Each structure stands twice: as structure tokens, then as C-alpha cells.
Amino acid sequence: MARMTPPERMGAVMMGEKPDRVPVVPFILGYSAQITGVSIGDIYADGDKCFDAMFNSMRLHGYEQTPMYGYASLGPWEFGGEVMFPYGKGHSAPSVTKHPVMSIEDIENLEVPTFEKELPGGFKESDKVAKRCVAMGMPATIQTGSTFTASSVVAETSLFLKWIFKEPKAVHLLLEKVSDMFVNALEYFAETYGPEHCMPFDGGPVEANTILSPKQFKEFAYPYMEKLHKKIKELGMPAVLMHPCADQNLNIPYYVELRKKLNWEGRYFWLFGPETPIQDQIDNFGDHDIICGNVDPPSIQYKSYEDVVRLCKENIEAGKDSPNGFVLAPGCEFPPLAPPIKVMAMMDAAEKYGRYD
């Protein structure tokens, strides 16, 4: 098979065809800043710097991931709270310094951000990245979830988790408002760039079963995920990047239900945490979707090049023949401080063990 370019490789996977080799989407965010000479804080505070760093990192390494903007604590800034950008030692993503919701009354008074004039918070930076991506023929990757994780930081997190029992109606009201913000975001990006150019990115760590029970997931996370994915389907967006972060094995039946219930013809990219065996992902989603790898991110950070190649090899061997395609990826963000040789380890593993010809 002739050697493909990265866009051809991803295009083949998207079309359900075999590429020349397994594509590599290393889920790089902060790392791109480290190796292009800007601070991690800058790529979150300025969408243009984000695009430049991620585009240059992509060119440098030759992987298949295109630039994207997003972080786990998205939500508070957009609802009028405050975040701190990661300029300090050891910081890797924006963190909340002022939650907009500290009481039930705050939930009642919370106003859903609109996208009619100035875009709210991080979406203004995300828009800069989307604009430049689409202008160059790459997808506009937009963070539109998860509603549950975003709500858990719009409100002070411990209070939010306790309100699940003490104030369930108020929790639902907050989830409704946060999901309405994401609906507004989906409509804005679809209208601005065309739905065919948009790839929503949904996922978060607070739904993990180390925190939340599957019953709580069903009652408080699932309905708002379904609401957003219905919207994605209505708008005609062709693919969604789903990242059920950390251990969400007990939630898998609900992700399967989502898929079935919407009867959607688009494609999901499933990027689970390292706790979910690749075979389980294939069994649940492989018939229609693209399975991403889940190499353990901390291992990428501190283990040797050889160890990382071995871990990638195991990932590739487990997923390569998934019926609708496989992409090599870590199980969460690529460690921002990892040395570049670790990206090389992923690329080398894909070349050596991921070829289809």
C-alpha cells in the first residue's frame, strides 16, 4: 500500500477504509507548548498561540491529531467565575479560583451564556483555533461536555456532589443550564463553520466510577449527554470525540444505550481511560465506531522509550483489527512535561506494529 499523508490516513479511517497504518492521535495539549517554546498558560489564555503550538507540534512529529482547544475545568469562566491559567510550576491546565455557584440560590440566579455577541470565556479562544483549523481544511474540534463534569466545577465540587442527595432538583437545574450553554455552543459553531466541519469533543473525569456510581451516572449525567448528542445529530455533525475519562467501566452500558437510542449514522471516536480493556471497547462499540487506544499517560511520562514502545505495541495488537478502525492514543492527555522521545515512541510503534499492508 502506498504511504499515506496524515489527512489521508485519518480520512480513510473516517470512511471505514483501511489506512496504510494505524493513525496516531496523541491527545497532545500542554505538551505542544513545552516543545514550541511558549508557556502552557499561553496556549489556554490565547487561542492563536494554542493553534500555533499545536500545529507546529503536529508538523514536527507528523502525527494525525489536529489542533484543538479544551480543558477539564471548562464551565466556571463561561458562567462568570474565574480561572487561573497554568503558568506556575507543575500546573498543566486552567484551574478554578472562583466558582460561580456556591449556594442553591446561585443556581437559580445563574444565567446561561449566549453566543450572540462576544463568546463566553474559553469559547472565544476555542473559536480562534476553530477558525484557523477550518481555513486549512482541518476539523473544528469543540468542547461540548461533559455537562456533568462542567457542572461539578461551575459549582464548588464538594457541594455539588453532596447536593446530588440533598438538593437533587437544584442539581438538575444546574445541569440543565450548563447543557443549554453547550447547546448554544453547538449551534454557534455549526452556523459559523458548517456542521460538516465540526467535531464535538465530549467527556470528563467526574463521572468516573471512583467518584460516581452507575446509578448516579444514569440519573445525573446520562440525560444531559443524550440531550447534547441529539442536538449533534440534528445539526448533522459527522463525528464526535468521546472521552469517558478514567475508570468508567460501570457506565459503559449507558454509553452503549446512547449509541442505540440515537440510531446515529455518524461516527464516535471512543477514547476511554487505561482502566478499560481495548477488547471491551471493541465488543461494545467496534461494530460502528472507531476505537482509540488508551496507553497509560503516567507511564508515558516516567517510563523509558522502550517501555512506551512496548505499551503502544500491546495497544495496537489489541485494537488494530477492530472492524471500524483503530487509532493509537493515550488514555488521557499526553503528559505535558514528557520528553519528545515519548511521542517518537508512539510514532515508531505505529510504524513498526501498526501497518496494514
Partner 1 sequence: MDMDKETLFKKLADAVIDGDEDETARLAQEALDTGIDPYDAIMQGCNKGMAEVSDRYEAKEMFVPEILLSADAMYAAIDILRPHLKVDDTVAKPATIIIGVAQGDIHDIGKNLVKMMLDVAGFNIIDVGRDVPVETFVEKAVEHNAKLVAISALMTTSMMNMEPVIEGLKEQHSGAKTIVGGAPISQDFADNIGAAGYGKDAVAAVRIAKKLTEA
Instruction: Decide: is 306 part of the binding site for partner 1 (CB under 8 A).
Output: no
- Draw the binding track, 215-254, toward partner 1 (x: CB under 8 A; -: no contact): -x-----------------------------x---x----
Applying CB under 8 A, the span of 85-93, 138-146, 264-272, 315-323 interacting with partner 1 comes to 85-93
Instruction: Decide: is 114 part of the binding site for partner 1 (CB under 8 A).
Output: no
Total of chain residues touching partner 1, rule CB under 8 A: 36
Q: What's the angle, vertex CA 98, arms to CA 87 and CA 205, rounded to 5?
A: 75
Q: How far apart are CA 84 and CA 36, in angstroms?
A: 22
Applying CB under 8 A, the span of 6-14, 55-63, 93-101, 195-203 interacting with partner 1 comes to 93-101
Site for partner 1 in 255-274 (CB under 8 A): none
Q: Where are the beta strands (DSSP E) in 59-158?
A: 82-84, 95-98, 140-143
Applying CB under 8 A, the span of 153-161, 175-183, 231-239, 253-261 interacting with partner 1 comes to 153-161
Site for partner 1 in 273-302 (CB under 8 A): 297-302
Alpha-carbon radius of gyration of the chain: 19
- Cβ nearer to partner 1, comparing 8 with 219: 219
Measured torsion, CA atoms of residues 310, 313, 319, 320, in degrees rounded to the nearest 10: 180
Residues forming a β-bridge with 83: 96
Residues forming a β-bridge with 141: 199
Does residue 69 sit in helix, strand or coil?
Answer: coil
Instruction: Decide: is 166 part of the binding site for partner 1 (CB under 8 A).
Output: yes
Instruction: Decide: is 161 part of the binding site for partner 1 (CB under 8 A).
Output: yes
Does residue 280 sit in helix, strand or coil?
Answer: helix
Q: What's the angle, vertex CA 177, arms to CA 171 and CA 180, rounded to 5?
A: 140
Instruction: Decide: is 18 part of the binding site for partner 1 (CB under 8 A).
Output: no
Instruction: Decide: is 210 part of the binding site for partner 1 (CB under 8 A).
Output: yes
Site for partner 1 in 49-78 (CB under 8 A): none
Applying CB under 8 A, the span of 21-29, 157-165, 223-231, 257-265 interacting with partner 1 comes to 157-165
Q: Kind and range of the H or E element at 32?
A: helix 30-36
- Let me know if 215 is exposed, middle or buried by CB neighbors in 10 A (0-12, 13-18, 19+): exposed
Applying CB under 8 A, the span of 16-24, 91-99, 100-108, 262-270 interacting with partner 1 comes to 91-99
Q: Kind and range of the H or E element at 48?
A: helix 47-61
Q: What's the angle, vertex CA 33, arms to CA 28 and CA 37, rounded to 5?
A: 145
Smallest gap from residue 89 Cβ to partner 1 (A): 6
Contact set with partner 1 (CB under 8 A):
30, 88-93, 95-96, 157-158, 161-162, 164-166, 205, 209-213, 216, 246, 250, 297-302, 333, 335-338
